[in-house]
A and B are shown apart, each in its own frame.
Chain A
């Protein structure tokens, strides 16, 4: 059985039909438990209560970058294999990625003010994330600006692929340049990495954000498929009415004579 059969909108609707509600329930439970755990950990000895902000900032930043990677992959598949569902998934993911990027930028700034002494610095990672956010906004604006949906799908896919460099830099800028933003703190060796008191609720919040992302993404993709189906049905009905009008037109003109 080929994975590509799910690129068929009807198959996609059938497959995702039964997972939407459980995804939303799981997201609500995980986010609720994750938040409750996050705001019950003791203040950090250096960061104080601002450590709580990281339980939102880190998962949001992770999703901001990974959503862009997903969009790029879906766009590339759409361009190469001409699967409409790939374009629709990329389109559905864009507002979600933009929202998580905005959350990462805002929570990062709010954490940065008390910890770094500034809301913002033009450091490589922060700048790359800001540019990636602009790519998200530009991508959505381009979809909205082009009426022909096939043409919009192609052009937005190209734009998305151009922006991949900033998603890559958002992730790896801390490895290439000396930045104010710290490097990886979760993948370090034991003894150097974040203590379990903070690490475990952070992992839970990451899982919670991923499940929430999946719930929103699947719902938005299904919305887009329904919207297109409604549009196609209306166009078909309009064509049928026009054809019926042509058939009855001359007869109705002849009748009075």
Chain B
């Protein structure tokens, strides 16, 4: 572990993995949130249509 941390490139690796987690994690979070909202909206619209 200490050898890895001493590697001169560890900062680049951390930057690349960190950026990937932010971009892909953000995309997944937005996708799940949008899906939950659409599911809720459709359920409401269906209830409204029945009334």
**What is the interface of chain A, defined by CB distance below 8 A to chain B?**
43, 48-50, 52-53, 56-57, 60, 95-96, 99-100, 102-103, 106-107, 110-111, 113-114, 212, 216, 219-220, 222-224, 226-227, 229-231, 233-234, 236-237
Contacts and interface: CB of A to CB of B under 8 A. Distances in A.
A223 to B, nearest CB: 4
Contacts of B28: 216
Given A219-B31, A230-B45, A107 B39 contact: no
A226 B38 contact: yes
A13 B10 CA distance: 45
Contacts of A102: 23
Q: Which 10 A-B pairs have the closest CB atoms?
A: A233-B45, A226-B38, A230-B45, A230-B41, A230-B42, A110-B16, A53-B16, A99-B27, A107-B16, A49-B9
B42 A229 contact: yes
Nearest to B30: A95
Contact of B20 (A43, A56, A96, A113): A56
Given A216-B27, A226-B39, A233-B48, A113 B16 contact: no
A223 B34 contact: yes
Interface in B1-29: 4, 7-10, 12-13, 15-17, 19-20, 23-24, 26-28
Interface of B: 4, 7-10, 12-13, 15-17, 19-20, 23-24, 26-28, 30-32, 34-35, 38-39, 41-42, 44-46, 48-49
A107 B9 contact: no
A106 B20 CA distance: 8
Secondary structure dominating the interface of B? helix
B38 to A, nearest CB: 4
